[in-house]
C-alpha cells in the first residue's frame, strides 16, 4: 500500500490529522548465501530488500498501545504495565514482545496508536517477522529517547539484538541474529558480510551488471515455529559438543574450519548429526568464497556456490521440502540462470535466483508454469532491489 493510503487509513481508524503522525520502516531480507549458519556463530551474506514493514504511529497520553494491520480486521489493545501477558496472541505478540524486551532493557515505553502495513510476504522466508520487530523497536526506542531528552541516534545494532531477543524469549522461536541485523543495518546495493558470533561485519557491493535477483515464492507457508528449525538447532548443538571436546577453544561451529572438521568428523557417530554439521562447516566456507568471488566480479563462481549451498540444504540439512525442491529444479533448467537456491529457514517460503536480465520474463513464465503443473500451486515472483535498513521516514 502506498504511504498516503496508509496514512489515510490510520486517520479513518484513529481520527485526528496527519500533523502529529510519525512513520517508521524496516525491510525484509534475502540471504544470498549462508543458511542456518547464523545461530552457529558462522558467516552469512544477507541483503535488505525494498519490501518492508511500515508503521504509521501517533503517541498517546496514557499507558495504552493499540495495534492494527492494514490487512487484518482485528485490533489489539495492550496495557504498558502488563506487557509480559500478551505472549499467546495470534497477532500482535511480536510487536508487544519487542515493547516488553525494550522495557526490560530500560527503555521507557510510551502509549501509542499504531497501524502496520507489510509488503514483505508473510510466511515467505524473507523475514517479515524481523521487519516488524526492527521497525517496532526503532519506533519505541525513538519515542523513549525523546521522552527522556536523549539527543542521540538509536543504536540499530542494539535494535537488532532486542528484536532477536523478543522472538527467542517472548515468541518462542530460536532464530539467529541474521534476519534482524540485515533489517536494521541494510545498505542500498550492498550485501552484509556478517560474522554472527561477534557481529563483526562489512558491506560488499552487489554489482550484478546485466543480471537481476529474482525471488520465487512457493506459496508454501514458511513458519519457523511449526518447522523443524528448533530441532536442527538442537542437532547442531549436539554436534558442536562432540567436536569441541577435541577442539578446545572453539566457541561455536563457526570457528571450526573445513580441515578441522574433516580431521575430527569420525567422532560424530550419528549419521544425521554428521550431515547437519557438514552442512554448517561447508556453508561457512562457501560464504567466504562467495564474498571473494563477488569482490573479483566473478558472478558465475558465486552462482556455483549458491547451487552447492542449495544442494547441501536439500540433502545434508534437509530443510527444503517438495515445493522448494521443484522450484529450484525448474529454475536451474532456464538458460540465463546463474544460480538458484532456497533462502530463509526452509520448509516453504522463497528461492533466490540470479538471472540474466534478458531471461527474467522467460524465467517467470516458464518456472511459474512448470511449478504449477508439478505442485498444483500458483507461485509469486518478485524482482526486488537491494535497499536500506530500518529508518524513520521524515518527509511525507
- Give 175-179 contacts, CB < 8 A, sequence gap 24+: 175/39, 175/129, 175/224, 175/229, 175/345, 176/38, 176/39, 176/40, 177/38, 177/39, 178/29, 178/31, 178/34, 178/38, 178/44, 178/46, 179/29, 179/46, 179/127, 179/129, 179/130
- The HSE-up count of residue 380 (CA atoms within 13 Å, CB side) is 14
Instruction: Answer yes or no: 179 catalytic.
Output: yes
* Grid coordinates belonging to 376: 498444483
Q: Sheet containing 112-118: which strands, arranged edge to edge?
A: 75-79, 64-69, 112-118, 46-59, 22-31, 391-393
Active-site residue, selected from the candidate residues 38, 117, 179, 285: 179
The answer to whether 131 and 181 are in contact (CB under 8 A) is: no
CB within 8 Å of 372: residues ≥ 6 apart: 378, 379
- β-strand pairing of 75-79 with 64-69: antiparallel
- Residues 229 and 208: beta-carbon distance below 8 Å: no
Would you please indicate which residues are annotated as catalytic (active-site) residues?
179
Amino acid at each position: 500500500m502506498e504511504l498516503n493510503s496508509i496514512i489515510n487509513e490510520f486517520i479513518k481508524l484513529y481520527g485526528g490529522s496527519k500533523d502529529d503522525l510519525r512513520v517508521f520502516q524496516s525491510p525484509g531480507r534475502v540471504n544470498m548465501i549462508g543458511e542456518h549458519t547464523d545461530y552457529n556463530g558462522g558467516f552469512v551474506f544477507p541483503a535488505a530488500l525494498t519490501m518492508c514493514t511500515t508503521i504509521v504511529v501517533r503517541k498517546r497520553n496514557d499507558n495504552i498501545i493499540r495495534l492494527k494491520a492494514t490487512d487484518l480486521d482485528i485490533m489489539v489493545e495492550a496495557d504498558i504495565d502488563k506487557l509480559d501477558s500478551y505472549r499467546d496472541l495470534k497477532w500482535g505478540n511480536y510487536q508487544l514482545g519487542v515493547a516488553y524486551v525494550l522495557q526490560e532493557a530500560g527503555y521507557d515505553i510510551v502509549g501509542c496508536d499504531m497501524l502496520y502495513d507489510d509488503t514483505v510476504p508473510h510466511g515467505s522466508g524473507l523475514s517479515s517477522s524481523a521487519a516488524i520487530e526492527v521497525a517496532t523497536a526503532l519506533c519505541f526506542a525513538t519515542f523513549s529517547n525523546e521522552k527522556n531528552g536523549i539527543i542521540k541516534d538509536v543504536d540499530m545494532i542494539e535494535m537488532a539484538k532486542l528484536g532477536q531477543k523478543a522472538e527467542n524469549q517472548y515468541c518462542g522461536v530460536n532464530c539467529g541474529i541474521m534476519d534482524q541485523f540485515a533489517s536494521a543495518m541494510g545498505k542500498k546495493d550492498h550485501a552484509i558480510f556478517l560474522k554472527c558470533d561477534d557481529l563483526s561485519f562489512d558491506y560488499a557491493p552487489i554489482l550484478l551488471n546485466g543480471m537481476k535477483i529474482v525471488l520465487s515464492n512457493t506459496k508454501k507457508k514458511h513458519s519457523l515455529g511449526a518447522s523443524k528449525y528448533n530441532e536442527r538447532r538442537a542437532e547442531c548443538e549436539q554436534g558442536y559438543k562432540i567436536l569441541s571436546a577435541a577442539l578446545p577453544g572453539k566457541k561455536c561451529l563457526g570457528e571450526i574450519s573445513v580441515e578441522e572438521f574433516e580431521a575430527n568428523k569420525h567422532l560424530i557417530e550419528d549419521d544425521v548429526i554428521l550431515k547437519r554439521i557438514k552442512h554448517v562447516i561447508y556453508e561457512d566456507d562457501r560464504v567466504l568464497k562467495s564474498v571473494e568471488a563477488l569482490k573479483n566480479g566473478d558472478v558465475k563462481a558465486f552462482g556455483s556456490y549458491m547451487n552447492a549451498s542449495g544442494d547441501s540444504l536439500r540433502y545434508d540439512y534437509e530443510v527444503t521440502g517438495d515445493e522448494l525442491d521443484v522450484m529450484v529444479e525448474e529454475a536451474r533448467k532456464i538458460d540465463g540462470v546463474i544460480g538458484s537456491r532456497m533462502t530463509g529457514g526452509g520448509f516453504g517460503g522463497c528461492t533466490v535466483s540470479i538471472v540474466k536480465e534478458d531471461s527474467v520474463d522467460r524465467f517467470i513464465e516458464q518456472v511459474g508454469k512448470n511449478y504449477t503443473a508439478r505442485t498444483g500451486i500458483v507461485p509469486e515472483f518478485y524482482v526486488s532491489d537491494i535497499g536500506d535498513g530500518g529508518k524513520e521516514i521524515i518527509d511525507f
